[in-house]
Amino acid sequence: IAGITQAPTSQILAAGRRMTLRCTQDMRHNAMYWYRQDLGLGLRLIHYSNTAGTTGKGEVPDGYSVSRANTDDFPLTLASAVPSQTSVYFCASSPHALGQTTDTQYFGPGTRLTVL
Amino acid sequence: AQSVAQPEDQVNVAEGNPLTVKCTYSVSGNPYLFWYVQYPNRGLQFLLKYITGDNLVKGSYGFEAEFNKSQTSFHLKKPSALVSDSALYFCAVRDMKTGYQKVTFGTGTKLQVIP
């Protein structure tokens, strides 16, 4: 079982370019999440999805969009990257929506993104 | 609003000594509390959680945490530290009263176990 995979592992991107970070899980979890990790700030939630076909905004959604066409995939898109989006991005999943249960989250290995 | 604080950016402990990583929280209702560990260049891994019941929670790799409602704390502990415990530790909280579908993470504490 792979769990959660993320691609690419790392990326250097010019400002203004469009970029999609990929996330796939094989655990048939209903809920998925995108976080960014920045030094001194911990993890901040960007967007989440409680089930396929639905998405919601987290703490820092501006400049990012997501889609959830099926259970397994939850891509994160930066429409026009800016240097402040330089960060490490983690995708996570949980069996059910956090508001309904006490489920823990399972994290992918992360994508290190640098926007120049 | 829910929040969590990890007052120490780094904790250094000698191998074989007991370790404590501190966490305090703020919620309006009852808290669900979690500890996660992050090894270099890896994603977060779940260690343990407190939902209800016994205030002392036991988790993976010999770690445990004590829920203290009066002090609003959930400190992570281990009786004897190993060099392999060196990592970044995150405390997290969810407020069950608000029902907000979100877990708030602390800023992380780097644990360095010295051989």
Q: What is the pLDDT of residues B52-92, one digit of tens each?
A: 888 999 999 999 999 999 999 999 999 999 999 999 999 99
Phi, psi of B84 (to 5 degrees): -70, -10
Arithmetic mean of pLDDT over chain B: 92
Pairing of strands B56-58, B44-50: unpaired
Q: Do A107 and B43 touch (CB under 8 A)?
A: yes
Pairing of strands B109-114, B56-58: unpaired
Q: Which residues of B79-96 are buried (b: 16+ CB within 10 A; e: fewer)?
A: eebeeebbbbbbbbbbbb
pLDDT tens sequence across A27-37: 999 999 999 99
Q: Do A42 and B108 touch (CB under 8 A)?
A: yes
* B30 part of contact set with chain A, CB < 8 Å: no
Q: How many Cα neighbours within 13 Å face the side chain of B39? A: 8
Quick one: which H or E segment has residue B4?
strand B3-5
Tell me what the mean pLDDT of segment B31-42 comes to: 91
State yes or no: pLDDT of B1 exceeds 80.
no
Handedness of CA A22, A27, A32, A37 (dihedral sign): negative
